[in-house]
Structure 1
Amino acid sequence: MIVVTAPTGNIGAGVVRGLLENDEQVRVVVRDPARLDPQVAGRVDVVVGSHADADVVDRAFEGADAVFWLVPADDAATSMDEAYSGFARAGIESLTTRPVPRVVGISALGRGTPVAGRAGHVTATLAMDDLIAATGVPYRALTNPSFMDNWLWATGSIKSTGTYFGPYVPDLAMPSVATQDIAAVAVDLLRDSSWTGFEERPVLGPENLTFAGMAQIASDVLGRPVEYQQIPGEDFKATMMKFGNSEAIAQGLLDMALAKNEGLDLNVARTAGNSTPTTFAQWCADVLKPAVDG
Protein backbone atom coordinates (compact mmCIF):
# COMPACT_ATOMS: atom_id res chain seq x y z
CA MET A 1 0.00 0.00 0.00
CA ILE A 2 1.40 3.39 -1.03
CA VAL A 3 0.04 6.49 0.70
CA VAL A 4 -0.27 9.73 -1.27
CA THR A 5 -0.82 13.06 0.48
CA ALA A 6 -2.14 16.13 -1.38
CA PRO A 7 -3.60 13.88 -4.11
CA THR A 8 -5.67 16.59 -5.83
CA GLY A 9 -2.77 18.93 -6.67
CA ASN A 10 -0.77 18.80 -9.88
CA ILE A 11 2.02 16.64 -8.48
CA GLY A 12 -0.06 14.47 -6.17
CA ALA A 13 -2.67 13.70 -8.81
CA GLY A 14 0.12 12.71 -11.18
CA VAL A 15 1.60 10.41 -8.54
CA VAL A 16 -1.78 8.72 -8.00
CA ARG A 17 -2.28 8.19 -11.74
CA GLY A 18 1.23 6.83 -12.19
CA LEU A 19 0.88 4.37 -9.32
CA LEU A 20 -2.50 3.12 -10.53
CA GLU A 21 -1.12 2.68 -14.04
CA ASN A 22 1.44 0.34 -12.48
CA ASP A 23 -1.26 -1.59 -10.59
CA GLU A 24 -0.13 -0.40 -7.16
CA GLN A 25 -2.51 -0.26 -4.21
CA VAL A 26 -3.02 3.40 -3.29
CA ARG A 27 -4.36 5.15 -0.21
CA VAL A 28 -4.93 8.90 -0.37
CA VAL A 29 -5.25 11.49 2.37
CA VAL A 30 -7.71 14.15 1.23
CA ARG A 31 -9.80 16.79 2.95
CA ASP A 32 -12.55 16.78 0.35
CA PRO A 33 -13.00 13.44 -1.47
CA ALA A 34 -15.25 15.17 -4.01
CA ARG A 35 -12.13 16.82 -5.44
CA LEU A 36 -10.60 13.48 -6.44
CA ASP A 37 -10.52 12.67 -10.13
CA PRO A 38 -13.68 10.59 -10.74
CA GLN A 39 -11.58 8.13 -12.79
CA VAL A 40 -9.47 7.27 -9.75
CA ALA A 41 -11.81 7.88 -6.81
CA GLY A 42 -13.21 4.36 -6.88
CA ARG A 43 -9.80 2.75 -7.22
CA VAL A 44 -8.12 4.14 -4.09
CA ASP A 45 -8.50 3.76 -0.35
CA VAL A 46 -9.53 7.15 1.07
CA VAL A 47 -8.61 8.62 4.44
CA VAL A 48 -10.58 11.83 4.91
CA GLY A 49 -8.86 14.73 6.64
CA SER A 50 -5.66 16.74 6.72
CA HIS A 51 -2.24 15.13 7.00
CA ALA A 52 -1.48 17.81 9.60
CA ASP A 53 -3.79 15.88 11.94
CA ALA A 54 -2.24 13.16 14.14
CA ASP A 55 -5.23 10.80 14.02
CA VAL A 56 -5.43 11.12 10.25
CA VAL A 57 -1.78 10.35 9.57
CA ASP A 58 -1.80 7.47 12.05
CA ARG A 59 -4.70 5.88 10.15
CA ALA A 60 -3.12 6.65 6.78
CA PHE A 61 0.34 5.28 7.65
CA GLU A 62 -0.99 2.01 9.13
CA GLY A 63 0.39 -0.85 7.01
CA ALA A 64 1.94 1.53 4.45
CA ASP A 65 4.83 0.34 2.29
CA ALA A 66 5.70 3.89 1.24
CA VAL A 67 4.46 7.47 1.69
CA PHE A 68 4.46 10.38 -0.73
CA TRP A 69 4.75 13.54 1.37
CA LEU A 70 3.81 16.99 0.08
CA VAL A 71 2.97 20.00 2.25
CA PRO A 72 0.13 21.98 0.64
CA ALA A 73 0.39 25.72 0.29
CA ASP A 74 -0.90 27.66 3.29
CA ASP A 75 -1.53 31.23 2.18
CA ALA A 76 -2.61 32.25 5.69
CA ALA A 77 0.38 30.90 7.69
CA THR A 78 1.93 33.41 10.07
CA SER A 79 5.48 32.08 9.66
CA MET A 80 7.52 29.86 7.38
CA ASP A 81 8.01 27.40 10.23
CA GLU A 82 4.26 27.13 10.72
CA ALA A 83 3.73 26.53 7.01
CA TYR A 84 6.21 23.64 6.75
CA SER A 85 7.64 22.06 9.91
CA GLY A 86 4.54 23.04 11.86
CA PHE A 87 2.25 21.39 9.32
CA ALA A 88 4.48 18.30 9.22
CA ARG A 89 4.73 17.88 13.01
CA ALA A 90 2.04 15.19 13.26
CA GLY A 91 3.44 13.26 10.33
CA ILE A 92 6.96 13.40 11.74
CA GLU A 93 5.73 12.16 15.12
CA SER A 94 3.89 9.31 13.41
CA LEU A 95 7.05 8.33 11.53
CA THR A 96 8.85 8.20 14.87
CA THR A 97 6.31 5.91 16.53
CA ARG A 98 4.92 4.13 13.45
CA PRO A 99 7.78 4.07 10.93
CA VAL A 100 7.11 3.20 7.28
CA PRO A 101 9.64 1.55 4.94
CA ARG A 102 10.28 4.68 2.85
CA VAL A 103 9.11 8.26 2.28
CA VAL A 104 9.42 10.40 -0.85
CA GLY A 105 8.89 14.13 -0.33
CA ILE A 106 8.74 17.31 -2.38
CA SER A 107 11.59 19.69 -1.56
CA ALA A 108 13.76 22.32 -3.21
CA LEU A 109 17.23 22.95 -4.55
CA GLY A 110 19.62 25.13 -2.60
CA ARG A 111 21.16 23.18 0.26
CA GLY A 112 24.76 24.26 0.80
CA THR A 113 24.48 27.55 -1.08
CA PRO A 114 25.39 30.85 0.63
CA VAL A 115 21.77 31.99 0.39
CA ALA A 116 20.06 28.80 1.59
CA GLY A 117 19.49 30.27 5.05
CA ARG A 118 17.54 33.26 3.74
CA ALA A 119 15.53 31.73 0.93
CA GLY A 120 12.03 31.86 2.38
CA HIS A 121 10.04 28.80 1.37
CA VAL A 122 13.18 26.90 0.42
CA THR A 123 14.81 27.47 3.82
CA ALA A 124 11.68 26.22 5.56
CA THR A 125 11.42 23.19 3.26
CA LEU A 126 15.01 22.13 3.93
CA ALA A 127 14.43 22.45 7.68
CA MET A 128 11.41 20.14 7.37
CA ASP A 129 13.50 17.64 5.40
CA ASP A 130 16.01 17.53 8.24
CA LEU A 131 13.25 16.74 10.74
CA ILE A 132 11.88 13.93 8.57
CA ALA A 133 15.36 12.48 8.05
CA ALA A 134 16.04 12.65 11.80
CA THR A 135 13.27 10.09 12.40
CA GLY A 136 15.48 7.50 10.72
CA VAL A 137 12.95 6.67 8.02
CA PRO A 138 14.48 6.08 4.58
CA TYR A 139 13.78 9.37 2.82
CA ARG A 140 14.26 10.77 -0.66
CA ALA A 141 13.72 14.53 -0.90
CA LEU A 142 12.99 15.54 -4.49
CA THR A 143 14.83 18.84 -4.75
CA ASN A 144 13.20 20.93 -7.44
CA PRO A 145 13.79 24.30 -9.07
CA SER A 146 10.87 26.57 -10.00
CA PHE A 147 7.91 24.84 -11.64
CA MET A 148 7.04 25.56 -15.25
CA ASP A 149 3.44 25.37 -14.02
CA ASN A 150 3.96 28.65 -12.13
CA TRP A 151 3.37 30.38 -15.46
CA LEU A 152 -0.28 29.44 -15.12
CA TRP A 153 -0.56 32.11 -12.42
CA ALA A 154 -0.07 34.66 -15.20
CA THR A 155 -2.75 33.35 -17.55
CA GLY A 156 -4.85 36.48 -17.01
CA SER A 157 -2.03 38.96 -17.58
CA ILE A 158 -0.79 37.05 -20.63
CA LYS A 159 -4.28 37.23 -22.08
CA SER A 160 -4.86 40.89 -21.28
CA THR A 161 -1.44 42.54 -21.60
CA GLY A 162 0.94 39.87 -22.91
CA THR A 163 3.12 40.03 -19.79
CA TYR A 164 4.53 37.71 -17.17
CA PHE A 165 5.94 39.62 -14.23
CA GLY A 166 8.03 38.77 -11.21
CA PRO A 167 11.07 39.79 -9.14
CA TYR A 168 13.44 37.47 -11.00
CA VAL A 169 16.26 38.92 -13.09
CA PRO A 170 15.46 38.41 -16.78
CA ASP A 171 18.87 37.24 -17.98
CA LEU A 172 19.99 34.52 -15.54
CA ALA A 173 19.56 31.02 -16.97
CA MET A 174 18.02 28.75 -14.35
CA PRO A 175 16.46 25.27 -14.37
CA SER A 176 12.70 24.74 -14.32
CA VAL A 177 10.68 21.55 -14.28
CA ALA A 178 7.21 20.36 -15.26
CA THR A 179 5.20 19.00 -12.35
CA GLN A 180 4.26 15.94 -14.41
CA ASP A 181 7.94 15.00 -14.54
CA ILE A 182 8.33 15.40 -10.76
CA ALA A 183 5.40 13.03 -10.31
CA ALA A 184 7.02 10.46 -12.60
CA VAL A 185 10.26 10.51 -10.59
CA ALA A 186 8.28 10.15 -7.36
CA VAL A 187 6.38 7.14 -8.72
CA ASP A 188 9.62 5.37 -9.63
CA LEU A 189 11.08 5.92 -6.15
CA LEU A 190 7.89 4.94 -4.34
CA ARG A 191 7.81 1.63 -6.23
CA ASP A 192 11.51 0.90 -5.65
CA SER A 193 12.11 -0.90 -2.34
CA SER A 194 15.90 -1.14 -2.73
CA TRP A 195 17.02 2.25 -1.39
CA THR A 196 17.74 3.22 2.20
CA GLY A 197 18.96 6.26 4.17
CA PHE A 198 18.42 9.93 3.41
CA GLU A 199 19.38 11.53 0.11
CA GLU A 200 18.35 14.51 -1.94
CA ARG A 201 17.28 13.66 -5.47
CA PRO A 202 17.54 16.69 -7.78
CA VAL A 203 14.91 17.00 -10.52
CA LEU A 204 16.18 19.70 -12.86
CA GLY A 205 14.07 19.65 -15.99
CA PRO A 206 15.82 19.42 -19.37
CA GLU A 207 17.59 22.79 -19.67
CA ASN A 208 18.39 26.14 -18.08
CA LEU A 209 16.52 29.12 -19.49
CA THR A 210 16.32 32.82 -18.71
CA PHE A 211 12.93 34.35 -17.98
CA ALA A 212 13.36 36.49 -21.09
CA GLY A 213 14.03 33.33 -23.09
CA MET A 214 10.99 31.59 -21.61
CA ALA A 215 8.84 34.54 -22.61
CA GLN A 216 10.10 34.24 -26.18
CA ILE A 217 9.32 30.53 -26.22
CA ALA A 218 5.84 31.24 -24.85
CA SER A 219 5.35 33.85 -27.58
CA ASP A 220 6.30 31.36 -30.29
CA VAL A 221 4.03 28.61 -28.96
CA LEU A 222 1.05 30.82 -28.15
CA GLY A 223 1.26 32.78 -31.38
CA ARG A 224 0.99 36.07 -29.49
CA PRO A 225 3.65 38.37 -27.99
CA VAL A 226 4.62 37.62 -24.39
CA GLU A 227 7.13 39.74 -22.48
CA TYR A 228 8.73 39.09 -19.12
CA GLN A 229 8.85 42.14 -16.86
CA GLN A 230 10.96 42.29 -13.70
CA ILE A 231 9.22 44.28 -11.00
CA PRO A 232 10.59 45.66 -7.70
CA GLY A 233 10.52 43.25 -4.80
CA GLU A 234 8.19 45.41 -2.72
CA ASP A 235 5.69 45.52 -5.60
CA PHE A 236 5.81 41.74 -5.95
CA LYS A 237 5.23 41.27 -2.21
CA ALA A 238 2.30 43.68 -2.25
CA THR A 239 0.79 41.81 -5.21
CA MET A 240 1.14 38.47 -3.42
CA MET A 241 -0.64 39.92 -0.39
CA LYS A 242 -3.35 41.33 -2.65
CA PHE A 243 -3.88 37.79 -3.94
CA GLY A 244 -4.58 36.62 -0.38
CA ASN A 245 -1.18 35.60 0.98
CA SER A 246 -0.26 36.55 4.53
CA GLU A 247 2.62 38.96 5.09
CA ALA A 248 4.88 36.07 6.15
CA ILE A 249 4.07 33.95 3.09
CA ALA A 250 4.45 36.90 0.70
CA GLN A 251 7.82 37.74 2.26
CA GLY A 252 8.84 34.08 1.96
CA LEU A 253 7.99 34.10 -1.75
CA LEU A 254 10.04 37.25 -2.25
CA ASP A 255 12.99 35.93 -0.25
CA MET A 256 12.96 32.75 -2.32
CA ALA A 257 12.94 34.71 -5.58
CA LEU A 258 15.79 36.96 -4.48
CA ALA A 259 17.82 33.90 -3.44
CA LYS A 260 17.24 32.35 -6.86
CA ASN A 261 18.59 35.56 -8.40
CA GLU A 262 21.78 34.87 -6.41
CA GLY A 263 22.18 31.33 -7.72
CA LEU A 264 20.10 29.26 -5.27
CA ASP A 265 19.13 26.77 -8.00
CA LEU A 266 22.55 26.56 -9.64
CA ASN A 267 24.53 24.46 -7.17
CA VAL A 268 23.76 21.06 -8.73
CA ALA A 269 25.48 19.97 -11.94
CA ARG A 270 23.11 18.75 -14.61
CA THR A 271 23.41 15.06 -15.54
CA ALA A 272 21.38 12.63 -17.59
CA GLY A 273 20.12 11.15 -14.32
CA ASN A 274 18.70 14.37 -12.86
CA SER A 275 17.33 15.89 -16.09
CA THR A 276 13.70 15.28 -17.00
CA PRO A 277 12.19 15.23 -20.49
CA THR A 278 9.47 17.88 -20.76
CA THR A 279 10.83 21.06 -22.37
CA PHE A 280 9.31 24.43 -21.64
CA ALA A 281 8.15 24.63 -25.27
CA GLN A 282 6.35 21.30 -24.94
CA TRP A 283 4.83 22.33 -21.61
CA CYS A 284 3.59 25.58 -23.16
CA ALA A 285 1.96 23.63 -26.00
CA ASP A 286 0.38 21.03 -23.70
CA VAL A 287 -0.63 23.16 -20.70
CA LEU A 288 -0.19 26.92 -21.09
CA LYS A 289 -1.71 27.32 -24.55
CA PRO A 290 -5.00 25.55 -23.66
CA ALA A 291 -5.23 27.69 -20.50
CA VAL A 292 -4.62 30.94 -22.37
CA ASP A 293 -6.85 30.05 -25.32
CA GLY A 294 -9.64 28.72 -23.11
Structure 2
Amino acid sequence: MILLTGASGNVGTALLAELRAEGVPVRAAYRDPRKVTEDAVLLDFAVPDTLGPALDGVDTVFLLAATGPDQPVHELNLLEAARKAGARVVKLSVWRADEELSPIARLHRPAERALTSSGLRWTILRPNFYLQNFLRQTSIREAGVFSQPLINAPISFIDTGDVARAAARVLTSDGHDGRIYDLTGPRALTYVEAAEVFSDVLGKPVRYVHFPDDEARAAMIGRGLPEFQADALIEVARAYRDGGAETVTSAVQDLTGEPAVEFADFVRRHRDFFG
Protein backbone atom coordinates (compact mmCIF):
# COMPACT_ATOMS: atom_id res chain seq x y z
CA MET A 1 0.00 0.00 0.00
CA ILE A 2 1.27 3.46 -0.96
CA LEU A 3 0.37 6.53 1.09
CA LEU A 4 0.22 9.55 -1.18
CA THR A 5 0.62 12.92 0.55
CA GLY A 6 0.18 16.14 -1.41
CA ALA A 7 -2.67 14.39 -3.21
CA SER A 8 -4.51 17.61 -4.10
CA GLY A 9 -1.55 19.32 -5.83
CA ASN A 10 -0.54 19.25 -9.49
CA VAL A 11 1.87 16.35 -9.14
CA GLY A 12 -0.18 14.53 -6.51
CA THR A 13 -3.39 14.63 -8.56
CA ALA A 14 -1.61 13.30 -11.66
CA LEU A 15 0.24 10.65 -9.65
CA LEU A 16 -2.94 9.45 -7.95
CA ALA A 17 -4.62 9.03 -11.34
CA GLU A 18 -1.55 7.21 -12.72
CA LEU A 19 -1.40 4.74 -9.85
CA ARG A 20 -5.13 4.05 -9.81
CA ALA A 21 -5.15 3.51 -13.58
CA GLU A 22 -2.47 0.86 -13.06
CA GLY A 23 -4.45 -0.79 -10.28
CA VAL A 24 -1.81 -0.01 -7.66
CA PRO A 25 -3.09 0.00 -4.06
CA VAL A 26 -2.85 3.66 -3.04
CA ARG A 27 -4.27 5.70 -0.19
CA ALA A 28 -4.63 9.44 -0.77
CA ALA A 29 -4.02 11.69 2.23
CA TYR A 30 -5.96 14.93 2.74
CA ARG A 31 -6.14 17.51 5.49
CA ASP A 32 -9.81 18.15 4.72
CA PRO A 33 -11.97 15.53 6.53
CA ARG A 34 -14.65 15.95 3.85
CA LYS A 35 -12.33 14.21 1.38
CA VAL A 36 -11.96 11.07 3.49
CA THR A 37 -13.35 8.02 1.68
CA GLU A 38 -12.75 4.30 1.57
CA ASP A 39 -9.38 4.86 -0.14
CA ALA A 40 -8.52 8.31 1.24
CA VAL A 41 -7.48 9.21 4.79
CA LEU A 42 -7.20 12.23 7.02
CA LEU A 43 -3.64 13.46 7.46
CA ASP A 44 -2.56 16.78 8.93
CA PHE A 45 1.21 17.21 9.00
CA ALA A 46 0.86 19.58 11.95
CA VAL A 47 -1.12 17.05 14.02
CA PRO A 48 1.11 14.05 14.71
CA ASP A 49 -1.85 12.03 16.03
CA THR A 50 -3.20 11.83 12.45
CA LEU A 51 0.03 10.42 11.02
CA GLY A 52 0.15 6.99 12.63
CA PRO A 53 -3.38 5.97 11.58
CA ALA A 54 -2.75 7.21 8.04
CA LEU A 55 0.34 4.99 7.86
CA ASP A 56 -1.38 1.87 9.17
CA GLY A 57 -0.71 -0.94 6.69
CA VAL A 58 1.43 1.30 4.46
CA ASP A 59 4.81 0.13 3.16
CA THR A 60 5.69 3.13 0.93
CA VAL A 61 5.12 6.87 1.40
CA PHE A 62 5.18 9.57 -1.25
CA LEU A 63 6.22 12.65 0.70
CA LEU A 64 5.16 16.13 -0.36
CA ALA A 65 4.05 18.84 2.06
CA ALA A 66 2.69 22.23 1.02
CA THR A 67 5.28 24.94 0.40
CA GLY A 68 5.41 27.33 3.35
CA PRO A 69 7.36 28.31 6.45
CA ASP A 70 6.19 25.19 8.33
CA GLN A 71 7.09 22.74 5.56
CA PRO A 72 10.32 21.44 7.17
CA VAL A 73 8.59 20.67 10.47
CA HIS A 74 5.66 19.04 8.68
CA GLU A 75 7.88 16.79 6.58
CA LEU A 76 10.03 15.84 9.56
CA ASN A 77 6.86 14.89 11.46
CA LEU A 78 5.90 12.54 8.65
CA LEU A 79 9.40 11.07 8.44
CA GLU A 80 9.30 10.24 12.13
CA ALA A 81 5.97 8.46 11.64
CA ALA A 82 7.41 6.62 8.61
CA ARG A 83 10.41 5.57 10.68
CA LYS A 84 8.13 4.09 13.34
CA ALA A 85 6.16 2.27 10.65
CA GLY A 86 9.30 1.10 8.82
CA ALA A 87 7.94 2.50 5.56
CA ARG A 88 9.96 3.28 2.48
CA VAL A 89 9.86 6.99 1.53
CA VAL A 90 9.94 8.64 -1.91
CA LYS A 91 10.45 12.36 -1.36
CA LEU A 92 9.48 14.94 -3.97
CA SER A 93 12.01 17.74 -3.63
CA VAL A 94 13.18 20.53 -5.96
CA TRP A 95 15.97 21.23 -8.40
CA ARG A 96 19.45 21.36 -6.78
CA ALA A 97 17.96 21.27 -3.29
CA ASP A 98 21.26 20.07 -1.82
CA GLU A 99 22.90 23.38 -2.75
CA GLU A 100 20.22 25.41 -0.94
CA LEU A 101 20.39 28.18 -3.55
CA SER A 102 16.84 29.38 -2.93
CA PRO A 103 14.31 29.58 -0.08
CA ILE A 104 12.28 26.76 -1.65
CA ALA A 105 15.35 24.52 -1.78
CA ARG A 106 16.06 25.35 1.84
CA LEU A 107 12.53 24.28 2.80
CA HIS A 108 13.09 20.83 1.28
CA ARG A 109 16.62 20.26 2.49
CA PRO A 110 15.92 19.33 6.16
CA ALA A 111 13.74 16.40 5.08
CA GLU A 112 16.36 15.34 2.53
CA ARG A 113 19.08 15.33 5.19
CA ALA A 114 16.90 13.50 7.71
CA LEU A 115 15.83 10.94 5.13
CA THR A 116 19.32 10.02 3.98
CA SER A 117 20.41 9.37 7.57
CA SER A 118 17.17 7.72 8.73
CA GLY A 119 18.02 4.11 8.02
CA LEU A 120 14.86 3.88 5.92
CA ARG A 121 14.71 2.89 2.27
CA TRP A 122 14.49 6.17 0.38
CA THR A 123 14.52 7.86 -3.02
CA ILE A 124 14.58 11.59 -3.80
CA LEU A 125 13.12 13.23 -6.91
CA ARG A 126 14.32 16.74 -7.81
CA PRO A 127 12.30 18.22 -10.70
CA ASN A 128 13.17 21.48 -12.43
CA PHE A 129 10.69 24.36 -13.07
CA TYR A 130 7.16 23.13 -13.83
CA LEU A 131 5.58 23.89 -17.20
CA GLN A 132 2.27 24.17 -15.36
CA ASN A 133 3.45 27.46 -13.85
CA PHE A 134 2.56 28.99 -17.22
CA LEU A 135 -1.09 28.10 -16.54
CA ARG A 136 -1.16 31.02 -14.10
CA GLN A 137 -0.48 33.35 -17.01
CA THR A 138 -3.98 34.30 -18.17
CA SER A 139 -2.42 37.33 -19.87
CA ILE A 140 -1.20 35.03 -22.68
CA ARG A 141 -4.81 34.56 -23.73
CA GLU A 142 -5.92 38.08 -22.92
CA ALA A 143 -3.02 40.15 -24.24
CA GLY A 144 -0.46 37.88 -25.91
CA VAL A 145 2.10 38.51 -23.18
CA PHE A 146 3.43 36.81 -20.07
CA SER A 147 5.58 38.15 -17.27
CA GLN A 148 8.05 36.38 -15.02
CA PRO A 149 10.83 37.58 -12.74
CA LEU A 150 13.89 38.14 -14.90
CA ILE A 151 15.83 34.99 -15.81
CA ASN A 152 18.16 35.36 -18.79
CA ALA A 153 19.40 31.78 -18.95
CA PRO A 154 17.62 28.71 -20.38
CA ILE A 155 15.50 26.45 -18.17
CA SER A 156 14.75 22.77 -18.80
CA PHE A 157 11.04 23.05 -17.90
CA ILE A 158 9.26 19.79 -17.01
CA ASP A 159 5.61 18.79 -17.22
CA THR A 160 4.10 17.73 -13.88
CA GLY A 161 2.63 14.72 -15.68
CA ASP A 162 6.17 13.56 -16.40
CA VAL A 163 7.09 14.03 -12.75
CA ALA A 164 4.08 11.89 -11.83
CA ARG A 165 5.00 9.18 -14.37
CA ALA A 166 8.57 9.06 -13.07
CA ALA A 167 7.34 8.94 -9.47
CA ALA A 168 4.94 6.11 -10.30
CA ARG A 169 7.79 4.01 -11.69
CA VAL A 170 9.95 4.67 -8.63
CA LEU A 171 7.08 3.85 -6.28
CA THR A 172 6.17 0.57 -8.00
CA SER A 173 9.52 -0.93 -9.00
CA ASP A 174 12.77 -2.00 -7.35
CA GLY A 175 16.28 -0.65 -7.75
CA HIS A 176 15.70 2.95 -6.65
CA ASP A 177 16.78 2.82 -3.02
CA GLY A 178 19.35 5.47 -2.12
CA ARG A 179 18.98 7.15 -5.52
CA ILE A 180 18.45 10.83 -6.34
CA TYR A 181 16.87 11.62 -9.71
CA ASP A 182 17.11 15.06 -11.32
CA LEU A 183 14.02 15.40 -13.50
CA THR A 184 13.87 17.76 -16.50
CA GLY A 185 12.15 18.28 -19.79
CA PRO A 186 13.83 17.28 -23.07
CA ARG A 187 15.38 20.67 -23.81
CA ALA A 188 16.17 24.01 -22.19
CA LEU A 189 14.55 27.26 -23.35
CA THR A 190 14.87 30.88 -22.33
CA TYR A 191 11.66 32.76 -21.62
CA VAL A 192 12.19 34.60 -24.90
CA GLU A 193 12.40 31.27 -26.74
CA ALA A 194 9.34 30.05 -24.84
CA ALA A 195 7.43 33.09 -26.12
CA GLU A 196 8.44 32.14 -29.67
CA VAL A 197 7.03 28.63 -29.13
CA PHE A 198 3.78 30.10 -27.84
CA SER A 199 3.61 32.34 -30.92
CA ASP A 200 4.24 29.48 -33.34
CA VAL A 201 1.75 27.08 -31.76
CA LEU A 202 -1.01 29.59 -31.04
CA GLY A 203 -0.63 31.45 -34.33
CA LYS A 204 -0.52 34.83 -32.63
CA PRO A 205 2.28 37.01 -31.27
CA VAL A 206 3.23 36.26 -27.67
CA ARG A 207 5.88 38.25 -25.84
CA TYR A 208 7.81 37.75 -22.64
CA VAL A 209 8.18 40.83 -20.48
CA HIS A 210 10.06 41.14 -17.25
CA PHE A 211 9.92 43.74 -14.52
CA PRO A 212 12.25 44.71 -11.69
CA ASP A 213 12.00 42.23 -8.86
CA ASP A 214 9.83 44.47 -6.69
CA GLU A 215 7.31 44.99 -9.51
CA ALA A 216 7.32 41.27 -10.36
CA ARG A 217 6.63 40.50 -6.70
CA ALA A 218 3.70 42.93 -6.60
CA ALA A 219 2.28 41.40 -9.79
CA MET A 220 2.42 37.87 -8.37
CA ILE A 221 0.70 38.96 -5.18
CA GLY A 222 -1.87 40.75 -7.31
CA ARG A 223 -2.60 37.42 -9.03
CA GLY A 224 -3.35 35.90 -5.64
CA LEU A 225 -0.02 34.31 -4.73
CA PRO A 226 0.76 34.44 -0.99
CA GLU A 227 3.54 36.87 -0.05
CA PHE A 228 5.79 34.07 1.23
CA GLN A 229 5.63 32.24 -2.10
CA ALA A 230 6.10 35.45 -4.11
CA ASP A 231 9.23 36.28 -2.13
CA ALA A 232 10.50 32.73 -2.59
CA LEU A 233 9.98 32.83 -6.36
CA ILE A 234 11.86 36.11 -6.62
CA GLU A 235 14.79 34.47 -4.84
CA VAL A 236 14.57 31.47 -7.17
CA ALA A 237 14.80 33.84 -10.14
CA ARG A 238 17.83 35.53 -8.64
CA ALA A 239 19.50 32.17 -8.03
CA TYR A 240 19.06 31.04 -11.65
CA ARG A 241 19.04 34.41 -13.42
CA ASP A 242 22.26 33.78 -15.30
CA GLY A 243 22.38 30.00 -15.32
CA GLY A 244 22.02 26.83 -13.29
CA ALA A 245 18.65 25.51 -14.46
CA GLU A 246 19.59 24.66 -18.04
CA THR A 247 20.82 21.08 -17.51
CA VAL A 248 18.86 18.40 -19.37
CA THR A 249 18.77 14.86 -17.99
CA SER A 250 17.41 11.62 -19.40
CA ALA A 251 15.83 10.57 -16.09
CA VAL A 252 12.21 10.71 -17.29
CA GLN A 253 13.02 8.58 -20.35
CA ASP A 254 15.17 6.21 -18.30
CA LEU A 255 12.50 5.70 -15.64
CA THR A 256 9.38 5.56 -17.81
CA GLY A 257 10.63 4.39 -21.20
CA GLU A 258 8.98 7.43 -22.83
CA PRO A 259 10.41 10.88 -23.59
CA ALA A 260 9.51 13.90 -21.52
CA VAL A 261 6.91 16.30 -22.91
CA GLU A 262 8.17 18.96 -25.31
CA PHE A 263 7.30 22.59 -24.59
CA ALA A 264 5.35 22.91 -27.85
CA ASP A 265 3.29 19.81 -27.02
CA PHE A 266 2.45 21.29 -23.62
CA VAL A 267 1.19 24.46 -25.32
CA ARG A 268 -0.86 22.43 -27.83
CA ARG A 269 -2.44 20.42 -25.02
CA HIS A 270 -3.52 23.65 -23.30
CA ARG A 271 -4.36 25.59 -26.44
CA ASP A 272 -7.85 26.39 -25.18
CA PHE A 273 -6.44 27.95 -22.03
CA PHE A 274 -3.81 30.02 -23.82
CA GLY A 275 -6.23 31.07 -26.52
- TM-score for both structures, normalised by structure 1: 0.83
What amino acid maps onto 2:131 in structure 1? M
Q: Secondary structure at the match of 1:23?
A: coil
Q: 1:107 aligns with which of 93, 106, 112?
A: 93
Deviation at 1:196, TM superposition (A): 2.4
* 2:15 equivalent in structure 1: 15
Q: How many residues align?
A: 271
- What is the distance in 2 between the residues matched to 1:120 and 1:264? 16
Report the Cα distance in structure 1 between the residues aligned to 2:217 and 2:79, rounded to whole angstroms: 31
Shift of 1:46: 1.3
Structure 2 spans left out of the alignment, 5+ residues: none
User: Is structure 2 residue 198 aligned with structure 1 residue 203?
Assistant: no
Match of 1:87 in 2: 74
CA–CA distance in structure 2, aligned partners of residues 35 and 264 of structure 1: 39
Q: Does residue 1:62 correspond to 2:56, yes or no?
A: yes
Structure 2 vs 1, CA of residues 131 and 243 (structure 1 numbering), >3 Å: closer, same or farther? farther
Aligned residue runs from structure 1 range 208-223, under 5 A: 208-223=188-203
Distance 2:150 2:50 in 1: 39
Q: Which residue of 1 aligns with 2:140?
A: 158
Taking a change above 3 Å as real, the CA distance of residues 22 and 119 of structure 1, as seen in their structure-2 partners, is same
CA distance in 1, matches of 2:46, 2:129: 25
Structure-2 change in CA distance of 1:283 and 1:245 (3 Å):
closer
**How much has 1:191 moved relative to structure 2?**
0.3
Counterparts of 1:60 and 1:18, CA distance in 2: 21
| TM-score with structure 2 setting the length | 0.88
Report the RMSD for the aligned CA atoms in angstroms.
2.4
Q: Deviations over 1:177-196 (max 9, x none)?
A: 00000000000010013432
Q: Residue in 2 aligned with 1:96?
A: 83
Q: Aligned to 1:174, what secondary structure does the other structure show?
A: coil
Check the 8 A contact 1:95/1:135 in 2, yes or no: no
SS in 2 for 1:47: strand
Instruction: Determine if the alignment matches structure 1 residue 251 to structure 2 residue 231.
Output: yes
In the alignment, the residues of structure 2 paired with residue 153 and residue 89 of structure 1 have an alpha-carbon distance, to the nearest angstrom, of 30
- Separation in structure 1 between the aligned mates of residue 17 and residue 43 of structure 2, nearest angstrom: 21
Q: How much has 1:149 moved relative to structure 2?
A: 0.5
1:177 counterpart (152, 158, 166)? 158
Q: CA, structure 1 residues 169+195, in 2 after alignment: closer, same or farther (shift >3 Å)? A: closer
Whole-angstrom distance in 1 between the partners of 2:245 and 2:9: 23
Secondary structure of the structure 2 residue equivalent to 1:236: helix
218, 222, 233: which one pairs with 1:242?
A: 222
SS of aligned partner of 1:202: strand
Look up the equivalent residue of 1:103 and give its one-letter code.
V
1:290 paired to 2:272: yes
Task: State the alpha-carbon separation in 1 of the partners of residues 197 and 30 from structure 2.
Answer: 36
C-alpha separation between the residues in 2 aligned to 1:262 and 1:128?
28
Distance apart, 1:119 and its partner CA: 1.0
Counterparts of 1:69 and 1:12 in 2: how far apart (Å)? 10
Percent identity over the alignment? 25
Taking the aligned partners of 2:150 and 2:110, their CA distance within structure 1 comes to 24
2:14 counterpart letter in structure 1: G
Distance 1:64 1:49, change over 3 A: closer
CA contact (8 A) 1:6 1:70 kept: yes
